[in-house]
Structure 1
Amino acid sequence: MYIMKSEAEPRRRHHDRAFKAKLVEQSMQPGASASAVAREHGINANMLFTWRREHARAGIVARSSESAVLLPVRLAGPAEEMLAEQGVQESSGSAPATNRSSRPGVIELELAGAHLRLRGTVDEASLCSVLRALRQSA
């Protein structure tokens, strides 16, 4: 059996930073599928996920077409008393959370210089909005 060898060696494609940033931004949009974005541009999805990790490590945050949503906050316990002493009033008109987890717990995060502690059941959509707003404000 004879195997033909090609004289031209296969070369890796090199994509410029602007192309990578454009695809990362597209893949980070709400409702976007990273795999679909990769397919549309003729690259492997793993390559796009690698670029997303590199952008995250470099502190580059993709712009979101969605603006940050402010959520109503209700304080209870010592924090409520502390704010009352400082003359801060609680916002009225709290919206009920709709998509709640059935398992209560505690979530503590330090992100963008902020410390966030959540107790009890957490609405996933609200948590995502808070995290997105913190990430964009960094």
Structure 2
Amino acid sequence: MKSQTGNKRPPRRQHDRAFKARLVRESMQAGASVAAIAMANGINANMLFKWRRERQCQEGAPQPAPAVLLPVRLASESEDSAAKALPLAAIAPAGAKSTGVIELEIAGGRLRLRGAVDEASLCSVLRALRQST
């Protein structure tokens, strides 16, 4: 049986609001690494994520941008898909740089995305494809 004196935990650390606010602000900067900020300040990254969520709840959760669905055309294997593919780069957001091609073959169909791809839009398309199969 363990003695009562051996079960004592160290007291929980109390962080002041200014410390929390500073770390949350730093972590919200573009390109900031939550893990690196947390490690540099001696806290667990999960704690910083919790503080970020609390701040978002206090400010009111921002509404996500509406999904932009792109036109899709399925080409049969016999068609020359390179010549007849829909040029999705032409409908990419203004100022977007062409960064490559994403091509997926799903259930006998082919989805080809060229240029800059909005992550939210791609997630919406993949979710719809997953639900339709």
- The structure where helix makes up a greater share of residues is 2
Q: TM-score, normalised by structure 1?
A: 0.43
Structure with larger Rg: 2
